[in-house]
Amino acid sequence: MIQHPGILALLLASALVGLLLAGAAALGLRILQGWDLRSGSEKQLALERRTYLVSSLVATALGVQMLSLFLFIFTADDLQGQFVGAMCAAGSLAVHAFGYPTLLLKLATSLLAGLWLVLHRTDLQGYDYPLIRAKYGLLLLLAPLALVEAWLQFRYFSGLKADVMTSCCGALFGQGRQGIAAGLAGLPPRVAQPLFWSLLGALTLMGCAWLRWRRGAWLFSLLSLGYFIAALVSLVSFFGLYIYALPTHHCPFCLLHREHGFVGYVLYGALLGGVVAGMGVGAVAPFQNRASLNQALPRMQARWVIASLGLAWLFALIVGLWAWLSPLKL
């Protein structure tokens, strides 16, 4: 294993996230088992108090996980010097099989923790804990994922040895290679571009339809997830090329560098925020007829629909303008 302050920080961070979420899930399980809102027994009161602890555990875990997501990419970037042929984070992650799964799982746990907080916020609006089961059910899914992520990350770092030959991002995301990453890059702009724009269109229509008729929240969430994935694919497949002004640089990480004005933070921030808000709309939809929520919920959902659409368009406008103004033509 390479001894690097960044690696130690990441190992610490994921150990803490694992600990926090495992603790939260254990509390959640006890809450699910003993819950009885009608009772005023001391046991029930104690359980209700634990819900405060659980939410502060999960909120902290989400904060740490977001930090750790970016720290992970940065560390991979910083380590590239130690691997022959690696020229950015993409190369370091490809050093062995645990790199990309760790990253994807980090992304997934961040999204789920964000979604959990959306459920939690909704739950707080109702006076009868309307989402208690959904919330703690999700937590039981989230905690094992975080533990697996911590383990994968440990495997990834402990398997790193300096000087291992690896591909640089130019080769890894280059066309004509095998693997998932290359598959994304290989998706020609002819396919990816219409897919991206039509998903944006469908998302916008669906959002407006929901705002008008309050129907189809599920579909909106699905589209929002679809847009998120399509946007990531398009970024690797062609939008990135315009930003780098290089016809072969299929890399999602270099966007975070100073050379590109840190535009990656805005883009990824918009995508992550947008997909969490978008998925939140559908996730709370089954509860919109609860007496305790039927006033507050539609207002919150409307806010999320607007936020999700706004962020989706922010992303699309930035990359679209960039592509339009770019001297590069694909």
Partner 1 sequence: MRPPLQRLRNILDFALASLSRRKGRNLSLLGVYTLVVFILASLIFFVQALKGEARALLAQAPDMVVQRMVAGRHDPIDLGRAQAIEEMRGVSGVRPRLWGYYYDPIYGGNLTVMAVEDAELPNDALWVGQGVARNLRVKQGDMITLRAYDGLPMLFTVQKVLSDASELISADLVLMSQSNVRALFAMREGTATDLAVDVGNARELPTIAAKIVERFPDARPILKSEILRTYEAVFDWRGGLMVVVLASAILSFVIFAWDKATGLSAEERREIGILKSIGWESGDILLLKTWEGAVVSLTAFLAGTLLAYVHVFFFSASLFDHALRGWSILFPRYRLAPSVDAYQLVILFVLTVLPYTVATLVPSWRAAMVDPDTAMRS
Partner 2 sequence: MTAIELTQVFKTYEAGLATPYTAVDGVSLTVPGQRLTVLKGPSGSGKTTLLTLLGCMARPTSGRIHLHGVPAGILPALNQGDTLEVTSLPERFLTAVRRRNFGFVFQHFNLIRGVSVLENVCLPTYPTGEDPRVVEGRAEALLKDLGLGRHLRASVDRLSGGEAQRVAIARALISDPPVIVADEPTAHLDSHLSEGFMELLGHFKTLGKTVIVASHDPIVCHGALVDRVIELRDGRVVEGA
Q: In angstroms, what is the minimal distance from the CB of 155 to partner 2? A: 42
Residue 43 near partner 2 by CB under 8 A: yes
- Identify the CA nearest to 250 among candidates 269, 234, 228: 234
Contact 6, 75 (CB under 8 A): yes
Q: Which does 248 bind (CB under 5 to 8 A by kind): partner 1, partner 2, none?
A: none
**Apex 163 CA angle, 176 and 68, nearest 5:** 80
Which residues have a Cβ under 8 Å from the Cβ of 302 and sit 6 or more positions away?
211
Selected from 45, 84, 205, 317, the binder of partner 2 by CB under 8 A is 45
Interface residue with partner 2, options 48, 197, 298, 320 (CB under 8 A): 48
Q: Which two tokens stand for residue 242?
A: 């315009």
- Site residues for partner 2, 129-188, by CB under 8 A, read 129
Tell me which residue has tokens 């309050």: 214
Kindly tell me which of 109 and 125 has the beta carbon lying closer to partner 2.
Answer: 125
How far does Cα 99 stand from its chain's mean position?
17
Q: Which residues contact 301 (CB under 8 A, 6 or more apart)?
A: 210, 217, 280, 281, 284, 285, 288
Q: Which of 8, 12, 41, 161 binds partner 2 (CB under 8 A)?
A: 41
**Burial class for 185, CB neighbours closer than 10 Å (0-12, 13-18, 19+):** buried
Residue whose entry in the numeric block shows the structure tokens 């001391």: 42
Query: Per-residue x/- marks for partner 1, 38-57, CB under 8 A?
Result: -----------x--xx--xx
**Nearest-approach distance from CB 248 to partner 2, in angstroms:** 54
Footprint of partner 2 on 109-138 (CB under 8 A): 124-125, 127-129
Q: In this complex, which beta carbon is closest to partner 2, that of residue 35 or of residue 74?
A: 35
Q: Which residues bind partner 2 (CB under 8 A)?
A: 37-43, 45, 48-49, 124-125, 127-129, 291-292, 295-296
Q: Which residues bind partner 1 (CB under 8 A)?
A: 2-10, 12-13, 16, 19-20, 49, 52-53, 56-57, 60, 64, 67-68, 70-71, 74, 78, 81-82, 84, 162-163
